[in-house]
Structure 1
Amino acid sequence: MDHVWYVAYGSNLAMARFRCYLSGGRPAGGARVYPGCRDRTAPTGTEGVLVPGGLVFAGASKVWGGGSAFYNPQAATQLAGRAYLITTDQFADVAAQEMWREPGGAYALQLAAILPEVIELHALGSGRYETVVRLGERNGIPLYTITHGTVADLAPVAPTASYLHWIATGLIEAHGWELAQVVDYLHTAPGVQLGWTPGALLSALNGNAGRGG
């Protein structure tokens, strides 16, 4: 299995932000410089996808402050994601960086080795993004994302404006949504209501979505 679809649903929805994972660098508004993947080749394809489940914000993001985005496979909604066609090793390196581990290190090598065997869900550990979820196939190639293994048990936490800017940018890029549709989608995610009214969310995103925060 040389290539997989990596399904992003948080700030990596935005291509410019995802490039920091691929080729290294610090995203605007973020507090971290990413080392990048061993293979810094751009994705060979990208598509907007909708999958069963939902978006939730919880925990504490070291990059953005506020809650981090997680995928809850059990939610009775739909998750708006963006599928990037990348190599298996790139996927493993992206996942390693999510956990502040070295691209090409032991964790990345372990993940790349077990990925073809993941039928539905596999937990490599109890960390924030150490559970791999298979979301079916697209054009005969498997779709995978990563999330927290017990996401349904996490207490929701409001995300920050800079984080939401990147997510909104990616939703517009991947799905062609108007800003009002982005606000409707985000405001239904657990955690967002704790810090944002729909009006405040619209004001925060207006003029920033589409420009990478």
Structure 2
Amino acid sequence: MSSHEVWYVSYGSNLSRERLNCYLAGGRPPGALRAQPGARDPRPPAEDRPVELSGRLYFWGASTTWEGATAFYDHHSPGPTAARAYRVTVAQLTDIAEQEMHREPRAGTALEAVLTRGFDGAYRAGPGRYETMVNAGTLDGLPMYTFTSPHRADTSPHAAPSEPYLAMIRAGLAESHGWDRETIETYLGTWLPAEAALRR
């Protein structure tokens, strides 16, 4: 189990520390339909920072956990995207990614080996929605990684997320960036599809 440290950069529901903790220590976040088993190393992140990604946010698909679309990051399209960087170990980031794809965390995966070695650009671990890993730069000398879909924002049918899912994002933006409700709603309104923006 790799103890090498990296930054995991979240732009969706894992902006919320409560939600991220379910991937580390196990549990079910408010409004979700599924519980997470947790990581092999359940410790909380060593620290976290508000950051900004250069690409854009979009919402797509249908989640069996949240009953609505979820957030994805297109690093090829202009943003910016508000995000939160958590300093974790490679093993913890690997286990977070595995759970995002509804898999049990385990040792000896190819993804853990790749993250331990490091990579530039993007690494596609598989065809799934969150199996494309993106190197988003460095912070304090450590690499910043996030994961997303292999599809582009302009070729994906955008869809509305559920209110419980949006509540996690709102909470995380307030926690990490210190934004007030108006700032949060303005930001989300930039990226939400029209039907979701209208019902807010």
Shift of 1:102: 1.1
Q: 1:70 to 1:27 in 2, by over 3 A?
A: same
Q: Percent identity?
A: 41
Q: Which amino acid aligns with 2:142?
A: I
Match of 2:40 among 26, 38, 41: 38
* TM-score normalised by L of structure 1: 0.89
- 1-side partners of 2:150 and 2:12: how far apart? 17
Matching of residues 64-79 of structure 1 within 5 Å: 64-79=66-81
Query: Once superposed, what is the RMSD of the aligned Cα atoms?
Result: 1.2
- 2-side partners of 1:75 and 1:34: how far apart? 31
Query: Which residue matches 1:178?
Result: 180
Per-residue CA deviations over 1:79-130 (Å, capped at 9, x if unaligned) read 1000000000000000000001111156xx2111012332110111110000
Shift of 1:190: 4.4
Q: Which amino acid aligns with 1:123?
A: R
Query: Which residue matches 1:207?
Result: none
SS of residue paired to 1:37 = coil
- 1-side partners of 2:41 and 2:56: how far apart? 31
SS of residue paired to 1:80 = strand
Q: Which amino acid aligns with 2:32?
A: G
Q: Gaps (5+ residues) in structure 1?
A: 202-213
Match of 1:14 among 9, 13, 16: 16
Q: Which amino acid aligns with 1:91?
A: L
Shift of 1:183: 0.4
Aligned residues of 1:7 and 1:82 also touching (Cα < 8 A): yes
Q: Which amino acid aligns with 2:52?
A: L
Matching of residues 44-55 of structure 1 within 5 Å: 44-55=46-57
Query: Which residue matches 2:138?
Result: 137
Q: Which amino acid aligns with 1:32?
A: R
Query: Which residue matches 1:147?
Result: 148
Match of 1:97 among 82, 96, 99: 99
- 1-side partners of 2:170 and 2:144: how far apart? 22
Q: 1:105 to 1:62 in 2, by over 3 A?
A: farther
SS of residue paired to 2:173 = helix
Query: Which residue matches 1:125?
Result: 126
SS of residue paired to 1:82 = strand
Query: Which residue matches 2:159?
Result: 157
SS of residue paired to 1:195 = helix
- 1-side partners of 2:70 and 2:63: how far apart? 5
- 2-side partners of 1:33 and 1:124: how far apart? 24
SS of residue paired to 1:156 = coil
Query: Which residue matches 1:211?
Result: none
SS of residue paired to 1:97 = helix
Query: Which residue matches 1:110?
Result: 110
SS of residue paired to 1:46 = strand
Shift of 1:68: 1.0
Query: Which residue matches 1:62?
Result: 64
Query: Which residue matches 1:26?
Result: 28
Q: Gaps (5+ residues) in structure 2?
A: none
